[in-house]
Structure 1
Amino acid sequence: MVDQPHFDVSAAVVRQLGEELVSDEVTAIVELVKNAYDADATYANVAVNTKDFLPAATTKYPNARGFVTIEDDGFGMNEGEIKSGWLMISLSTKRQMKSNGGKTPKGRTPLGDKGLGRLSTQKLGENLEMVTRKDGSGGSSRVSFSWASFTDNRKLSDVPVSIETKTEPERAKGTLLAISGLRNPNVWEGSAADQLVTDLSQIISPFPEARPFLVTLKINGRPIDLGQVSQRVRSAAVGRFFFKFLEGQLTIDGEIRLAKLLGNDPDAFSALISRDHGRAFFDYLLKKPLPVSLHYPDDKVRFATFSYSVALSSLGDVDTIASANGDDRRVTADPGPFSGEIDEFLLRHDPTTVKLAGLTNANEVQKIVKRQAGIKVFRDGFGIRPYGINGQDWLRLGAGWTSAGSYYGLRPQNVLGFVLISEENNSNLKEKTDREGFVSNPWSQNFQRLVMQIPKTVSDLYETIRRTFNEYRREIADKARPLGPTEKTVADASSVAERLASYTERAISLSGGAVSARERIQKVTDRIHKTPILSSAAERELSDLLTEANAALESSTALFSEMEEYAVQARALADIVGSLAPRLDVMSDQLNDFTELAGLGLVAETLSHEVQNQTDRLMQQASGAIKKGQTARPQNRDLVQFGQEVTSTVSALRRLVGHLGPSLRYQRDKIEVIEISSLLKELKEHFKTRWEGDDFSCSLRLTGSNFDIETNRGRMLQVLDNLLLNSEYWLKETAKRDPNFRPEIVVEYEPYRLHVSDNGPGVEKSVEEALFEPFVTLKSKQQGRGLGLFINAQIMESIGGQITLLPDRNADGRRFIFEVDLASVGRG
């Protein structure tokens, strides 16, 4: 029979594949422990020995120094399953089971499906021996081979493998892997071993609710504590946040301890929070529009509890997939249900934290938080790299904390947390072959978008609490002592301080004289008591001393009287400073918020000026090129066409900059009479050009009765710009899901108000009450900071107007009409 041409594979390919798929020893160990989980084991015992050899009677490789053993009590394999399955690279019965929705007898959905887990063993050592017995089988099987046999000059089918079956079982049901000839024994010793154990303790879940079975580790005979984060330690958190995502809805339930409000001002905390456990401030906070539903727990430990809910479809920047119905509509890619918890800690030996946790000292909390810091993702109890491992900040908490106004925000080194997913419910969250993160697809993108919404919600609430507390302090201080003009107050405080310093020095000098006089008076008094009949000399001495004492006391009395007057001034100074401090805090907040915007304004002014100059030059040169092309013989049509295209592009650029111009500093104080229909037509032309360049089709309909206003043109354009840009964003999000959607924005106008609405999703209920507060948005951090509507409210207030969200609701039950009240600037 003639051999048919066919592919074959060198044995070295398998070895190379294993080296590329398994990055380190931790990944190798975890992959092998996962196999035990998939085999319904109740435990996996891992033992490492870097110095000794396997007993000669139990191994084919007695001279291979160092070994790793992994033992479990899973359902094991028989010889037939070894030959038809385990020895077939990339063949996986688990893959078929998962595709059919099958589960193991214990109800587990297998974690492995690539048939490559056994390749992990080569990362650990040169030789592999496996002893396994299937539950109910009479005997056990031993498989042995060496990875050194996988060479370039040998076919995969020619690699020698030994299989021995013994009728007398060597073990109970389950599997024992023995990997000998350690490749890198140094990683199991010294500081390298400490890091490896730290990594392993994070990937094998330290949270009891996320650990599905027991995993133990010994290194050179010494049991290693893989660590658990107990409820006792987690109870020391100043903030605890529990979340779940189910049926398209993300819900968050949180609690904030009083200790969170301590900040860097323990005096303010003592005066304003401790005395009534924060109740007065909580009531003050409730007067503010809040992004969450807040409750007072009244238990003297917690400041507040809150709840929050938002639909995935309501968030910005979510990915979509084709509808299963076969039509053109697209639906939100649902990553499947998940749940989790984030705990935030204070790590500065705070006695309040220690007391709340019931710990003897803060070192226990610090040690565990430092070791386990980060928010990790666990699939059926096994961590997925790199999410949160060794503090990896996949949720970008550090970026948010270092920005302005985020003192209270979550910090990556101060949080412990986990997100629990499963193979059964989150099968679309696929891990990369090298086990280093999720494959990028619509489901994984939306999963990250959802989880990022959790710390964002917490940080937004913290920021609201911080700002409101500064206002609360200011109001309390103002009630105690109203604050006059700032310059006069500061000057008064400086004068009082200088006078106090002067009199303090005099008091110290006189105090020394008074002490000396009292000592001498005491000596004479003692002598008088001992000698009742005084000599004339004693009388003279006493007279001198009394005169000296009287003078000193008289000076002291006058000084102390004067000092009492200034003590009153000192108290006034304390009141003044107490009143100034919170006001300055509020001013600092405002400066931080708008420093970046001011910088952008300066850049915009410079850009506007330079663009005008450069476009003038371009227009001149383009006109010259057109004339040259037209007069050339034969006519240079390419040059003419190019010149015309340049002219058209420059004209569009100048229109865009011209639209920006009125908002810049040199124009913003100019008051003029503006015809509202003319302003809106100008706005419509600007957005028409913008959308044409962005390939976005949207109808902007203007309707109403014309009227005039008298105000600054740039400010009005900024208000309307922000509203239309907001509509544009959410209309684009809707268009992603429905190709038949026809975006429309409607601006209705009549004396003296504007109504701006669109046919998009409307305003999500969870944010409608706090919509005009700073940093309130459901857009991603990359797309918006939540300042547009806040700025609109500030601009309208500055001209005596108002912007509101009307109570009318669209078909989805959401408010969707913005009203701009222009009565204060109406003319006529």
Structure 2
Amino acid sequence: MKFKYNPRILAQLGTELITSDEVAFTELLKNSYDAKASQVKVHFVDSLESLNRSLLVTPVNDDVLLKLKATIGDEKVIILEDNGIGMDEKRLLEGFFTVGSDLKEKLKRAESDAGKKEKITLGDKGLGRLSSQRLASILIVETCTKEDSEVNYVEIEWAKFSKDLEEDAPVLHFKKKEDVSYTRLWFVGSVDFSTFIEDKRSLQKSLFEDDGDGGIHLQEKLQSSVSFLYSPFEKLEEDFEIKFYLNDLEIQSSFNNESINIAETIHRFKISKERNQSVVNLELEIKPWYVELIHLRILGKNLFTERKRDTHYYLSLIEKHKVRLDNSLKKRVLLIDYLRSKSNFSSSEIKLLEDIAPIEGKVYAFHREQFRLNLAVNAAKAVGAIKKNENITSIREFLNYHNGIKLYRDRFRIANLGDKESDWLNLQQARTRGQQFFRFELGNVIGFVKISDFYQKYIKEISSRQELSQSGHAIALKSFLQQIFNDDFYQLSTSAYYLVRDILTEEGQIPHNTPKELKDQVDESEAMLKETLKSLNIFQNSFSEIKDNILLDTPEKIKKVQRVITQLEGQDNSLTENINNSITTLKSAKDTLTVIEEKQKESYNNYKLMANGLITEVMTHELHSILLNTKSGINYEVHIAALKSYLLDMKQIGLYKENLKPVNERMDFLHTRISELDLFYNFLEKTFIRQGTHDDFENEIIKDLLLGFQKRLDKRLKDLKTDIVFENLQNYSWYVPKGTLTHVFYNLIDNSLYWIGERQKRGAYDQQFKSDLRDLIKIERIDENTIHYYDSGIGVIEDLQFTLFHPFKSGKKEGRGMGMYIVKNLLESFGGSIELLPDMNAYGNRHIFSITIK
């Protein structure tokens, strides 16, 4: 049996497999590139009479022109031509007319074997030219090689080929006009230009903008598809140019990358080799207008208008705090360690990613909203990042053409990943998890991922260009990238926001408004309004009396009006002053409210996370019932001992070792943990269960509180050979809300024990962390309001030194990153504070916490 092919397979591979007219153009342009062309031109011509023949890449032969006129008549036509190597009759047959031709694949294989990397061959499936069916019902191929003495000419009427496998299109030969090589494709029949170009010449031009391009544009989808050969991220070094024309007018295309420079932030990552080890580098770069936009976000438009600083000031803040920013916004980790930190790691992924390394990517983030975009544009102009004549219109067009995260092999796009319909990195899905401000929005980002796979061995696209072939390499790449973009970049964005907010606050650019200040301002405003109402009452009574005597027809009426006017003298100034003062105070109160609202938004988002406390409460009740049942239950040790004695008497040693002993050990473990949980329940009960309010203060004796922790954590302290040391804490107390210090010190001590344990583990193989001294946690009274807390652990690792108190920042593998954030906010809620002092320990890390209660 042999396979037979229905002729309609041509239509299925052309019009159905190729999913859009824009992709069809892309496929044909790839062929021009693979043909080693340096010039490609696309002409949209209303008729052959409208064609400016002087604009053609290669002059058209007069005989060819006569033949074209006979076929085309007065119809519209699209011409795609290049000055590539062209095709002789043999190549036409074996390449163009052979469906699934392997010519390019063989060429690519030969180049790979020879180690050539001069110019990448983009195509290899042998299906690209079938996409011509999407553009027109008739395709005319006009081509020749340098060696040919004649031009090869073929007319293909697709409908005939889709009905009969025996259909034949004869090759005609015409005299060559010049010693050149080229290929020119003529698309004829039901051609619709509006799919590809937008002619705005009939529309009224803006009074404020000069398009300078005759009002003719490439449609957005075509611009985006064609840009696979014009990456906006780097300059095209080789000689390859694409131009578009409508009759004799050139269509301006937006292939420049100038607008990329107004991005607010740039996220970067790279996998590369360093000393024979694969390393992942992560980085977030922030621009001065990003700082400015955070300032705007916190203050609101009204207050920001008053407090706004020039762009150079925001730039100076970035430069001043460079070390601090770099410390938190740049990371370097071994690839193996990075993958091990992820729950879905498999050892094979390292090899798969290394096959296509170096892998790198960048994401440029923007704002489209007019006020913010204007701010960014003006700021970028101020520091010379973009030209003075750049405008919002061109930047928005640039965003429309290029937005999304595209995948590149070297400089050329792979598939249509990253187009508007393709959220291949699940960016929008990640936004549904919350904290959207810190996540990417597809319409506001331009980015790329670039792999190194010159000969397309590992990463290939399916024929429709909509997706990657699901190889192991493709799956590993996607998994890695989704982790980078939706987790690591999210963490960097979060750190950047809170760092910038802290810097602006420290530099005095954010007022320290509190609800009390707001209340004072409102009270002051109310008092002024009362005075204003008094003045208005005087005016009202006076005008009433003037109205009653308005005729002034008797001496008495005249005297009454004169007396009223005399009484009003000075009241007008008082009324004006009261109204102005009221407006000023109300405006100040409104600005204060804006700042407070921004803080409340953040608090609200984090209180949602703290709603986990409700779950904790349910769990503690269940825990308590388990503890009670365990205490009043049967003594399992007696029964285990009886079973052990029986089995040994029966000489069933194997049964004892393999069955009873493991059960006994598990029961011992469970009993020990239950005992520890009994102590821990007392802590949970006090913190989460017993009813109390923020204003429910008590005098907390610090040493008694800490001794309670020492008892509860006795087993962990013994296991880690760690002591809790008190200094000058005798009869020392703080007046604080009930349960507050329990929460504060539990977090601190729990962190200490974790990092002391980490240091002890590392000390087993790293002399730097080895110590013969007994570990300690020290709590020291400095003065009536201040305690210093530190331990002999590793200290606060470098990555966290400036972001430790930000939400979602944790150095622990399974940490949530909320503990120290809540501790700080809890203390600040009643006037306390906690800070990490600059003192370094023996491991080069900051390690002393200063806790102050006013």
Query: Same fold per TM (> 0.5)?
Result: yes
Question: Post-superposition shift, 1:437?
Answer: 3.9
Q: What one-letter code is carried by the residue in structure 1 that aligns with 2:370?
A: R
Q: Give the alignment partner of residue 776 of structure 2, picking from 744, 747, 750.
A: 750
Aligned runs of 1:429-508 on 2, under 5 Å?
429-438=459-468, 439=470, 440-447=474-481, 449-450=483-484, 453=488, 457-458=492-493, 460-466=495-501, 468-469=503-504, 476=511, 485=516, 489=520, 492-493=523-524, 495-496=526-527, 498-503=529-534, 505-506=536-537
Match of 2:646 in 1: none
Question: Post-superposition shift, 1:173?
Answer: 0.8
Question: Post-superposition shift, 1:417?
Answer: 4.7
Q: Give the alignment partner of residue 129 of structure 2, picking from 104, 118, 121.
A: 118
Per-residue CA deviations over 1:228-277 (Å, capped at 9, x if unaligned) read 16466556x36264857473445555422375344473443343333x65
Q: What one-letter code is carried by the residue in structure 1 that aligns with 2:358?
A: G
CA change 1:281–1:164 in 2 (3 A) is closer
Aligned runs of 1:759-778 on 2, under 5 Å?
763=797, 768-776=801-809
Per-residue CA deviations over 1:164-195 (Å, capped at 9, x if unaligned) read 3747347841223345566999966999x956
RMSD of the TM alignment (CA)?
A: 6.3
In the alignment, the residues of structure 1 paired with residue 169 and residue 760 of structure 2 have an alpha-carbon distance, to the nearest angstrom, of 65
Between the two proteins, the alignment pairs up a number of residues equal to 721
CA change 1:565–1:123 in 2 (3 A) is closer
Match of 1:255 in 2: 287
Contact 1:496–1:570 under 8 Å retained in 2: no
Match of 1:424 in 2: 454
Residue 253 of structure 2 corresponds to residue 227 of structure 1: yes
Residue 307 of structure 2 corresponds to residue 272 of structure 1: yes
Question: Post-superposition shift, 1:600?
Answer: 1.8
In the alignment, the residues of structure 1 paired with residue 821 and residue 616 of structure 2 have an alpha-carbon distance, to the nearest angstrom, of 21
Residue 292 of structure 2 corresponds to residue 292 of structure 1: no
Match of 1:554 in 2: 567
CA change 1:657–1:169 in 2 (3 A) is farther
Aligned runs of 1:107-256 on 2, under 5 Å?
107-124=118-135, 129-142=140-153, 159-162=166-169, 164=171, 166=173, 168-169=175-176, 172-178=180-186, 194=219, 196-197=221-222, 199-200=224-225, 203=228, 205=230, 207=232, 209=234, 213-217=240-244, 225=251, 227-228=253-254, 230=256, 233-234=259-260, 237=262, 239=264, 241=266, 245=270, 247=272, 248=279, 249-250=281-282, 253-256=285-288
Match of 1:26 in 2: 22
Match of 2:275 in 1: none
Contact 2:840–2:847 under 8 Å retained in 1: no
Match of 2:80 in 1: 70
Matched position secondary structure for 1:22: coil
Segment of structure 1 superposing worse, 433-442 or 789-798: 789-798
Residue 25 of structure 2 corresponds to residue 10 of structure 1: no
Q: What one-letter code is carried by the residue in structure 2 that aligns with 1:228?
A: S
Contact 1:343–1:416 under 8 Å retained in 2: yes
CA change 1:554–1:71 in 2 (3 A) is same
Matched position secondary structure for 2:570: helix
Matched position secondary structure for 1:100: helix
CA change 1:610–1:12 in 2 (3 A) is farther
Per-residue CA deviations over 1:131-178 (Å, capped at 9, x if unaligned) read 3322333344445666557779x8xxx655556374734784122334
Match of 1:703 in 2: 721
Q: Give the alignment partner of residue 364 of structure 2, picking from 324, 342, 367.
A: 342
Q: What one-letter code is carried by the residue in structure 1 that aligns with 2:264?
A: G
Question: Post-superposition shift, 1:64?
Answer: 14
Question: Post-superposition shift, 1:31?
Answer: 1.4
In the alignment, the residues of structure 2 paired with residue 622 and residue 255 of structure 1 have an alpha-carbon distance, to the nearest angstrom, of 67
Contact 1:67–1:181 under 8 Å retained in 2: yes
In the alignment, the residues of structure 1 paired with residue 173 and residue 548 of structure 2 have an alpha-carbon distance, to the nearest angstrom, of 108
Matched position secondary structure for 2:420: helix
CA change 1:395–1:729 in 2 (3 A) is farther
Aligned runs of 1:20-99 on 2, under 5 Å?
21-47=17-43, 57-58=67-68, 69-86=79-96, 87=98, 89-91=100-102, 92-97=105-110, 99=112
In the alignment, the residues of structure 2 paired with residue 269 and residue 823 of structure 1 have an alpha-carbon distance, to the nearest angstrom, of 33
In the alignment, the residues of structure 1 paired with residue 757 and residue 90 of structure 2 have an alpha-carbon distance, to the nearest angstrom, of 63
CA change 1:800–1:484 in 2 (3 A) is closer
In the alignment, the residues of structure 2 paired with residue 203 and residue 731 of structure 1 have an alpha-carbon distance, to the nearest angstrom, of 53
Question: Post-superposition shift, 1:33?
Answer: 0.8
Q: What one-letter code is carried by the residue in structure 1 that aligns with 2:83?
A: D
Question: Post-superposition shift, 1:37?
Answer: 1.1
In the alignment, the residues of structure 1 paired with residue 7 and residue 632 of structure 2 have an alpha-carbon distance, to the nearest angstrom, of 68
CA change 1:262–1:791 in 2 (3 A) is closer
In the alignment, the residues of structure 2 paired with residue 656 and residue 796 of structure 1 have an alpha-carbon distance, to the nearest angstrom, of 28
Contact 1:241–1:342 under 8 Å retained in 2: yes
Matched position secondary structure for 1:71: strand
Matched position secondary structure for 1:89: coil
Q: What one-letter code is carried by the residue in structure 2 that aligns with 1:78?
A: D
Question: Post-superposition shift, 1:42?
Answer: 1.8
In the alignment, the residues of structure 2 paired with residue 85 and residue 751 of structure 1 have an alpha-carbon distance, to the nearest angstrom, of 77
Which runs of 5 or more structure 2 residues have no equivalent in the other structure? 50-63, 200-217, 273-278, 382-386, 644-658, 691-704, 730-738, 779-789
CA change 1:159–1:396 in 2 (3 A) is same
Segment of structure 1 superposing worse, 433-442 or 717-726: 717-726
Question: Post-superposition shift, 1:199?
Answer: 4.8
Aligned runs of 1:780-791 on 2, under 5 Å?
786-788=817-819, 790-791=821-822
Per-residue CA deviations over 1:87-144 (Å, capped at 9, x if unaligned) read 262512243145336557xx32112233332343344456655333223333444456
In the alignment, the residues of structure 2 paired with residue 381 and residue 496 of structure 1 have an alpha-carbon distance, to the nearest angstrom, of 69
Contact 1:69–1:177 under 8 Å retained in 2: yes
Q: What one-letter code is carried by the residue in structure 1 that aligns with 2:40?
A: A
- Residue identity over aligned pairs, in percent, reads 17
Contact 1:337–1:426 under 8 Å retained in 2: no
In the alignment, the residues of structure 2 paired with residue 520 and residue 40 of structure 1 have an alpha-carbon distance, to the nearest angstrom, of 100
In the alignment, the residues of structure 2 paired with residue 77 and residue 821 of structure 1 have an alpha-carbon distance, to the nearest angstrom, of 76
Contact 1:285–1:465 under 8 Å retained in 2: no
Question: Post-superposition shift, 1:29?
Answer: 1.7
In the alignment, the residues of structure 1 paired with residue 459 and residue 839 of structure 2 have an alpha-carbon distance, to the nearest angstrom, of 41
Per-residue CA deviations over 1:36-74 (Å, capped at 9, x if unaligned) read 112221233345689999988359988999865432111
Contact 1:376–1:389 under 8 Å retained in 2: yes
Segment of structure 1 superposing worse, 111-120 or 328-337: 328-337
Contact 1:201–1:227 under 8 Å retained in 2: no
CA change 1:118–1:268 in 2 (3 A) is same
Match of 2:443 in 1: 413
TM-score normalised per structure 1: 0.65
In the alignment, the residues of structure 2 paired with residue 283 and residue 210 of structure 1 have an alpha-carbon distance, to the nearest angstrom, of 31
Matched position secondary structure for 1:70: strand
TM-score normalised per structure 2: 0.64
In the alignment, the residues of structure 2 paired with residue 144 and residue 655 of structure 1 have an alpha-carbon distance, to the nearest angstrom, of 89
Contact 2:841–2:847 under 8 Å retained in 1: no
Question: Post-superposition shift, 1:30?
Answer: 0.7
